Amino acid sequence: MFNHLNYDMASKYLPLRLLASIVLLAGCASEPPLPPSDSQAQMPSYRDQALYNQPYTVKGKTYFPLLSRDGYREVGLASWYGAESGERTANGNRFKPNGLTAAHKTLPIPSKVRVTNLANGRHIDVTVNDRGPFVADRLIDLSHGAAKRIGVNGLAQVSVEILDASPGSR
Question: What integer pLDDT is reported at residue 29 of this predicted model?
Answer: 41
Question: What integer pLDDT is reported at residue 86 of this predicted model?
Answer: 73
| Phi, psi angles (nearest 5°) of residue 99 | -75, 175
Q: Which DSSP string do the residues of 59-100 spell out, in sequence order? A: TTEEE---S--TT-EEEEEEEEE-TTTT-B-TTSPBP-TTSS
Question: What integer pLDDT is reported at residue 160 of this predicted model?
Answer: 98
Beta bridge mates, 141: 79, 103
**pLDDT, tens digit (0-9, with 9 covering 90-100), for 45-60:** 888 899 999 999 999 9
- Positions in the chain whose pLDDT score sits under 70: 1-43, 85, 165-170
Which fold does the domain 47-162 belong to in CATH? Barwin-like endoglucanases (2.40.40)
Question: What integer pLDDT is reported at residue 127 of this predicted model?
Answer: 97
Separation between Cα atoms, residue 33 and residue 52, nearest integer Å: 37
Question: What integer pLDDT is reported at residue 27 of this predicted model?
Answer: 47
Question: What integer pLDDT is reported at residue 39 of this predicted model?
Answer: 53
Closest CA to 56 of 103, 111, 125: 103
Q: Could you tell me whether strands 73-81 and 138-143 are parallel, antiparallel, or unpaired per DSSP bridges?
A: parallel
Question: What integer pLDDT is reported at residue 166 of this predicted model?
Answer: 54
The model carries a pTM of 0.71
Task: Confirm if 55 and 65 have CB atoms less than 8 A apart.
Answer: yes
